[in-house]
């Protein structure tokens, strides 16, 4: 199957990793449907924008029902809220759980079976190295760790039906999230390579995982850490 006939659904395409993934896939010849609450940030003949608030369960389910059977789902939409134990904000925790875990689950519940029925498909969830645990980011870490558990479970269910499921977990990445005032007290730590990870580097790995060459890779969490895990 040529890339021109393949369609990917990508969340969070208005900025950051989601936008980088969508732009890489478009450059590779894919048709891309972007799910985002924000207005479309990409203008391309092969790009379709679907407005959806992915923190809204009903809105997400309705959007998923319109997507048919894509060849790939990349869940990149994300938000970071920080807070030490005893100073947590329940609304912010709910926001992260809804966007990271709830939206992934609702989309996969619809698109995963459709891919399996078609006999092929790829699901990639964007996680984080913070899933290993980090002070002040317990709720964020928990949501990203949950994505790994979901991916491994879905991979086990779908492995015999031509669908792979993986997680790409970057270290601190150069996106607008870095400058979010909500994390003003949590300066990102540069990995040993001496710079932040670039969104296009993450997009390159995602593109590979969506390719036929990656058909034997499933149920894995792959880190792009710039050497941050070397002392583990």
Phi/psi at 191 (nearest 5 deg)? -70, 170
Rg (CA), the chain: 17
What is the C-alpha to C-alpha distance for residues 188 and 198, in angstroms, rounded to an integer?
A: 14
**Is 208 an annotated catalytic residue?**
no
Dihedral sign from CA coordinates of 60, 66, 72, 77: negative
Are the beta carbons of 36 and 49 closer than 8 angstroms? yes
**Which residues, in sequence order, are CB contacts of 118 under 8 Å at separation 6+?**
69, 162
35, 98 Cβ separation under 8 angstroms: no
List 23, 140, 146, 170, catalytic entry: 140
Instruction: Assess contact for 202 and 103: CB atoms under 8 A.
Output: no
Instruction: Report CA-CA distances (Å) from 90 to 98, 114, 185.
Output: 12, 34, 19
Report, as residue numbers or ranges, the catalytic residues.
Answer: 140
């Amino acid at each position: 199957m040529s890339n021109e006939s393949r369609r990917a659904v990508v969340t969070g395409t208005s900025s950051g990793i989601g936008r980088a993934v969508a732009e890489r896939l478009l450059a590779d010849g894919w048709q891309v449907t972007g799910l985002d609450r924000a207005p479309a940030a990409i203008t391309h003949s092969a790009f379709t924008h679907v407005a959806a608030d992915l923190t809204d369960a009903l809105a997400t389910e309705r959007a998923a029902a319109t997507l048919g059977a894509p060849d790939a789902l990349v869940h990149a939409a994300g938000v970071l809220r920080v807070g030490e134990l005893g100073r947590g904000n329940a609304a912010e925790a709910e926001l992260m759980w809804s966007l990271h875990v709830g939206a992934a689950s609702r989309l996969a519940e619809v698109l995963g079976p459709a891919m399996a029925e078609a006999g092929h498909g790829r699901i990639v969830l964007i996680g984080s190295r913070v899933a290993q645990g980090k002070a002040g980011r317990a709720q964020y870490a928990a949501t990203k760790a949950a994505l790994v558990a979901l991916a491994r479970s879905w991979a086990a269910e779908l492995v015999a039906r031509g669908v792979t499921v993986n997680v790409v977990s970057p270290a601190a990445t150069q996106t607008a999230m870095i400058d979010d005032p909500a994390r003003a007290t949590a300066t990102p730590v540069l990995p040993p390579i001496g710079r932040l990870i670039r969104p296009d580097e993450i997009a390159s790995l995602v593109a590979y995982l969506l390719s036929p060459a990656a058909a034997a890779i499933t149920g894995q969490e792959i880190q792009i850490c710039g050497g941050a895990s070397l002392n583990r």
